[in-house]
Chains A and B, each alone.
Chain A
Amino acid sequence: MQLHDVWFVLIAVLWIGYFFLEGFDFGIGVLTKLLARDRAERRVLINTIGPVWDGNEVWLLTAGGATFAAFPDWYATLFSGFYLPLLMILVCLIVRGVAFEYRHKRTEERWQRGWEHAIFWTSLIPAFLWGVAFANIVHGVDIDRQKNYVGSFWDLLNPYALLGGLVTLTLFTFHGAVFAALKTVGDIRTRARAAARLLGLLTAVLALVFLGWTQAHSGTGWSLAALVIAVLALVAALAANQLAREGWAFVFSGLTIVAAVAMLFLALFPDVMPSTLDPAYSLTVTNASSSPYTLKLMTIVAAVFTPLVLLYQGWTYWVFRKRIGVQHIPSADHVAPAPEV
């Protein structure tokens, strides 16, 4: 395996890590409207990801930075080509981060409600758009001889891509519901399991069509294996959820994401962005990659620091391992006391 192949795998690992982790963050965000019945329950949900969402999001930044370093052309083509969807994702991530941090800083009803709407929409939209983006990457888009995307914004919203968006949206929401069942106590925990059952079935139908379509269009033997694992994992997650084995359900919903994203990357390889205009214009692991020196350097950096990151991020999850319920939500918000007059 050559270095650029190693880096293809590493980039895939970063995206898998991102979707695994921020997948349930997005899901929790969507569930604040679907599952929570009042503000206390919404706060329970938000606080299940409170200490970790920021660290989860860095997987995306690292995926972006690593793509820039290892495959500059992939980075340039992808983000200049998918400009407007990416702009929407960025706007959502900006508002979402601020919403988590600022919502509880004032007690006014309008203020809190406004940020709660923001959390819902800014979780839902990126969860959908990432699917659209990845579907387009795998299927190929109009890339010209200069490696530039020359299609329009509307070309990106083709049926296959929209289906991909629905799959990530439902899959992440399902993963979020499973996570909610694992991290909460009380009434909301039971309802989270019920929601997971419905969402899981919906995901299964959509994902089967989408992944089957992908397999038919650009699949290989390996991608088929990943597809089978994804489907089996989803079935296992649903079964574990049914048996109220929440830990196992989470392991399997996570594995579904891992296998499904892995399948997309396996279907993509050795291209990184296929061109629909002429296969000769496709960006591949060889023609889009950096020099061997840079790849070697970055391999060393990744080999040293990725395990370290996993270690201390894992520790964070252990520190905040306790389930939370409405009884744990402080009645008084942490807001500034009124200034003395």
Chain B
Amino acid sequence: MELAVAHETIARWQFGVTTVYHFLFVPLTISLAAMVAGLETAWVRTGKEKYFHATKFWGKLFLINIAMGVVTGIVQEFQFGMNWSDYSRFVGDVFGAPLAMEALIAFFFESTFIGLWIFGWDKLPKKIHCACIWMVALGTVLSAYFILAANSWMQHPSGYTVDPVTKKAQLTDIMRVLFQDTTVVVVFHTLTAAFLTGAAFMVGIASYHLWKAKRRPETADGRKVAAMRTSLRFGLVLAVVAGLGTAISGDTLAKVMFEQQPMKMASAEALWETQAPAPFSIFAVGNVNQGHNSVELEIPGILSFLAKSNFSSSVPGINDTAAAEAAKYGGRPADYIPNIFVTYWGFRLMIGFGMTSFVAALIGLWTTRKKRFLAPEFRTAEDEVPRLMLTPSREMGPFLTRWSWRIGILTMGFPLIANSFGWIFTEMGRQPWAVFGLMKTADAVSPNVSVTTQVIAFSTFTALYAILAVIEVKLLAKYAKAGVDLTDRPPAKDPTLRGPSSDEDADKPLAFAY
């Protein structure tokens, strides 16, 4: 491999591995923070034990997850400078601003209030304690907003000018960076997908416990079942709402992309030639060198609808778009074609995995519906495992019941896969550009970092992340399987901010300690 190519390739692999890995934890953190906050609010307002148990249980899983999200995020703050110094010099004036705002506004929020929430159970009045987790949730959402604004600027630069002397991008309008259509739609799409992720996670683990309680009623504890049943319903409702939101925002985002990055959408569809009306591809095997697909299966007209909301519009193909870009920016058309295999399949896997979870939740929501929709003899109490009902008086048979619970468990990680492919698609689909139309990825790498250094860094991160993944998953599985800990109790009396009043209290062990 030529040195320059190796240079760019390793830097891209490192960014891809560290970022996709980081983003396994991010959506769960965003959604679980808000979901735990919702459960704690329900406890504070109703005083019902099941909400307290659910808060504690999901809170533990949330903390195991956010620890990884936080530490893998540290790398993100610095690796632009490490591997992409020419990029950093070129975009810093624009791109640095949302990053700095993210740290100053969002990270401080998250990290400070998470400490208060973890250690504050016996130190803070419960309303304030609950407010702390809401602050964490707000921090995660703000963080997502700022970083997506930065990414959207790479997808569709706006609110900037290129300085004629220094040849660097300069910010002229921060409002355009923060509120351009790309940013707003991407934020909506990412957040809804994040909530679908957390909801599917909750549904999966709750299904595991409920299905176990159903099979072994003699070992089941009603209090645990109640907490899981509430969690299941909460997760299902959220998954349906978030899934719908993901689909709608995804459709809007696709329309924005057809406008702003036609190559990305053409490559998502492996649409080589401009067509009117354009079909939606179900399956295709393409040949990049020959510029067409050798096998394909498609539905006529649908792509035109996705792009322009009617069934007959023309959608520009890869070859025409590449020729246009080559004419505009120089070079050969082939230089402007991203990796079609990755974009085409990434796009399909994103939709496929994400929507499977949505459909599963929709079915789950129907079969576990409230008792007023059921015949009296099929109604179950709050601390019983719900029966899976097809009609008001018809329960699923044993086979369907078994598989319904299993599907609930198995689809738990599907949105995580969808998220990863979504990012791989959107970043690979922008290639060869780092900043669309302004800077190519090949020109963005650090010129002074040797390939040896890169190899050391890339292998270190990959090995470290692999080890941590094993540790994290095992720990998560252990706590998820253990279920609700009934020995967890809220403080006997609501703490006051002034601290313990008597000396006797002063030597009491901490409610939580590392």
A residues with a Cβ closer than 8 A to B are 43, 46-47, 50-55, 57-58, 60-62, 64-73, 75-81, 83-84, 86-87, 90-91, 93-95, 97-98, 100-106, 146-150, 153, 290-291, 293-294, 297-298, 301-302, 305-306, 309, 312-313, 316, 319-322, 324, 327-331, 334, 336-340
Contacts and interface: CB of A to CB of B under 8 A. Distances in A.
Contacts of A54: 70, 111-112, 114-115
Interface string B95-139: 111011111110110011111101110011000000000000000
A68 B71 CA distance: 20
A76 B89 contact: yes
Contacts of B113: 312
A91 B457 CA distance: 10
A77 B88 CA distance: 9
6 contacts: A64-B77, A64-B78, A69-B96, A76-B446, A79-B81, A80-B448
Most buried by B among A43, A58, A73: A58
Given A97-B74, A153-B453, A331-B509, 4 more contacts: A69-B99, A70-B96, A95-B464, A105-B479
A66 B112 contact: no
A327 B509 contact: yes
A183 to B, nearest CB: 13
A72 B171 CA distance: 13
A257 to B, nearest CB: 20
B509 A329 contact: yes
Nearest to B479: A336
B485 interface: yes
Interface string B464-489: 10001001000100110111010100
Given A94-B74, A98-B67, A75 B453 contact: no
Contacts of A331: 509
Nearest to A147: B89
Contacts of B481: 339
B334 interface: no
Contacts of B93: 69, 72, 290-291, 294
Nearest to A295: B93
A69 B92 contact: yes
B70 A330 contact: no
Nearest to A318: B497
A70 B220 CA distance: 59
A329 B112 contact: no
For chain B, give the interface size range: 35 or more
Most buried by A among B85, B171, B456: B85
B399 interface: no
A294 B77 CA distance: 19
A6 to B, nearest CB: 14
Given A72-B96, A105-B64, A65 B85 contact: no
A298 B96 CA distance: 10
B100 A301 contact: yes
Contacts of A336: 60, 478-479, 482, 485
B217 interface: no
B115 A52 contact: yes
B103 A66 contact: yes
A91 B447 CA distance: 23
A328 B514 contact: no
A309 B106 CA distance: 10
A106 B116 CA distance: 23
A103 B514 CA distance: 7
A51 B88 contact: no
A115 to B, nearest CB: 10
A76 B81 contact: yes
A61 B114 CA distance: 17
A340 B453 CA distance: 49
B510 interface: yes
B88 A75 contact: yes
B468 A98 contact: yes
A100 B113 CA distance: 17
B499 interface: yes
B453 A290 contact: no
A338 B481 CA distance: 9
A330 B85 contact: no
A50 B75 contact: no
A73 B460 CA distance: 26
Nearest to B487: A337
A185 to B, nearest CB: 9
Interface string B497-514: 101000000111110111
A316 B112 contact: yes
Contacts of B108: 55, 58, 62, 305, 309, 312-313
B509 A105 contact: no
A81 B86 CA distance: 12
Contacts of A51: 115-116, 118-120
A302 B104 contact: yes
Give 7 nearest A-B pairs by CB, closest first.
A72-B92, A79-B81, A69-B96, A336-B482, A68-B96, A101-B67, A76-B85
Nearest to B93: A290
A93 B71 contact: yes
A97 B118 contact: no
B339 interface: no
Contacts of B73: 61
Given A58-B107, A319-B124, A294 B170 contact: yes
B100 A66 contact: yes
Given A147-B89, A338-B482, A298 B111 contact: no
Contact of A319 (B82, B116, B118, B163): B116
Contact of B448 (A103, A149, A290, A291): A149
A75 B180 CA distance: 27
A149 to B, nearest CB: 6
A13 to B, nearest CB: 12
B80 interface: yes
Contacts of A67: 96
Interface string B42-61: 00000000000000000010
A62 B456 CA distance: 27
B448 A50 contact: no
Given A65-B102, A102-B471, A104-B513, A57 B111 contact: yes
A94 B172 CA distance: 36
A86 B78 contact: yes
Nearest to A57: B111
A322 B468 CA distance: 34
Nearest to B75: A90
A64 B74 CA distance: 10
A14 B120 CA distance: 27
A90 B464 CA distance: 11
A87 B457 contact: yes
Contact of A76 (B88, B99, B112): B88
B423 to A, nearest CB: 21
A97 B85 contact: no
A328 B513 contact: yes
A148 B104 contact: no
B74 A61 contact: yes
A97 B70 contact: yes
Contacts of A104: 513-514
A48 to B, nearest CB: 10
B17 interface: no
A95 B68 CA distance: 10
Nearest to A84: B453
Most buried by A among B81, B112, B487: B81
Contact of B104 (A65, A153, A340): A65
